[in-house]
Chains A and B, each alone.
Chain A
């Protein structure tokens, strides 16, 4: 009976959400709902990183994975895609509170654009980690109907401090529980508007500020199997404190099933992942598959495949220097009838000790 109900629930949810798809914000990604991406592997995996333990020189996204890790590492990493110059320009305009210039630049660009950049330093000692991000930013802009321009723009710049811990459950060593605390200071502009409305009312072009403290729990259960299968879940973007403008309460649920089958003498770590971001109204696009292939402690190759985005990348370490390169392609659906695909290269450089 319970099984039938579950099947019915799944079928109904699929029909309901497929049938009610909307194309808000001209299909641009909502950075506020994204889990912070720190290294090239994270950029490649996107939300899948929440159900895959971090590689030898990465930090696990889901704090529950820290429970069994044995790492003592200090790392600095900076990663950005090929629109880094424009992103830096937007960062300065955000800090100056000049949203009008940001909008002007997006109108001139005309084509939809998505850019992300991140810088981070962290220290991990086995089951805990502390980190600081002096800058993380994103830019997504699109203009629809040039005859009566409708502009969608989301630009943000933030800095962050975080701490995460992972524990093994007392009664069951296969059950791991983790918690992450993140304090974020964010300047942002996120609005969809008619250009002519902004001409008559420039006050709608306003940079907003937020201070947020997130609590993000994670859980993982590993099965006693040859493939090291595990099921994991996390809830991110739960604010316990917020101050400032434009706040939306939108926690995101992530669930994934990971396994590590043998592959060319090593293991291919894979995960089938569900990301419950409410901004993604195409339910099939919420499912992704990601994989990481670690070559000793020297290099990693990662790939991610979803309905609306896919990416591939590699990172390596030489002595204390860490570097990486990735290619990401994501789909923007401004409306029901058109799809714009945006492809970018992401470059990473950093140090690990």
Chain B
């Protein structure tokens, strides 16, 4: 009887020790280590500057730390007012990605002015496609979005979610630049220097190309990646057609009357 009792007690002791040892599989949290988890917590608590400080210090010493750079970018973006709803809207836009080439006009040959008109139509259509993604209007917020993009730019080659995130930040900067940055002067007769317009437009197309590349790298679905690659190639061709020196050769360096597609993009004639 006593042997059974002590046997049971030993068995239970062994089981208890085994239970204590059953901690071998501890999955790491998504955020990685404690420092990044701490920064994420601070962002959640709206203590953005503290989070930015922690992550800036970290990325200063670990330049290749992609996760830290992404969370650093998110801290700047959060300070600029980017919230969960922005991602929900972005998800909605990405869901329509498969149909995005339907909104782009077909190719045809023409002079530089026609190429600029085509490019302007593309920029307008892309703006409409990213309509629900906000562009911060406060100066400080705009600076934060640029800082966010700068932080993530240095992360090098990105794929998956981080690449989509960079695309999202690029879209915000793209919209900011389009609406806020210095535009070419248009006079009351809706005339402007074609060289200036070509330079200005080319910059936007290059930004747009970077957005397409990032979105393409963000997808794992081969058909969506292919679509992004096709769009990028199309953009490359348009960018090639818009050459400021070619514009001067074709139209000289005098203001020309702008077609409606360009005035719509450049704003009111004044």
Which chain A residues have a beta carbon within 8 Å of chain B's beta carbons? 6, 9, 13, 17, 20, 22-26, 107, 110, 143-150, 169, 171-172, 174-175, 192-203, 219, 221, 231, 233, 235, 248, 250-255, 274, 276-278, 281, 283, 334-338
Contacts and interface: CB of A to CB of B under 8 A. Distances in A.
Interface stretch (B11-19, B175-183, B188-196): B11-19
Given A26-B29, A200-B164, A281-B26, A335 B41 contact: yes
Given A235-B15, A251-B22, A147 B83 contact: yes
A274 B78 contact: no
B40 interface: yes
Interface centre among B1, B21, B40, B88 (most CB of A within 10 A): B40
A49 to B, nearest CB: 17
A22 B31 CA distance: 12
A338 B25 contact: no
A172 B15 contact: no
Contacts of B161: 194-200
The SS class assigned to the A binding surface is mixed
Nearest to B79: A147
Interface residues of B, number: 57
B91 interface: yes
A195 B29 contact: no
Contacts of A110: 84
Interface string B194-220: 000000000000000000000000111
B15 A255 contact: yes
A25 B162 contact: no
Nearest to B40: A145
A199 to B, nearest CB: 5
A197 B160 contact: yes
A338 B4 contact: no
A338 B41 CA distance: 8
B43 A145 contact: yes
B201 to A, nearest CB: 29
B71 interface: yes
A229 to B, nearest CB: 13
B40 A150 contact: yes
Nearest to A337: B41
25 contacts: A13-B20, A22-B28, A22-B29, A24-B27, A24-B29, A145-B40, A147-B83, A148-B74, A172-B5, A175-B4, A193-B30, A196-B162, A200-B220, A201-B160, A219-B11, A221-B8, A231-B9, A233-B11, A233-B15, A250-B22, A254-B19, A278-B24, A335-B31, A337-B38, A338-B41
B139 interface: no
B5 A146 contact: no
A144 B44 contact: yes
Contact of B71 (A148, A253, A281): A148
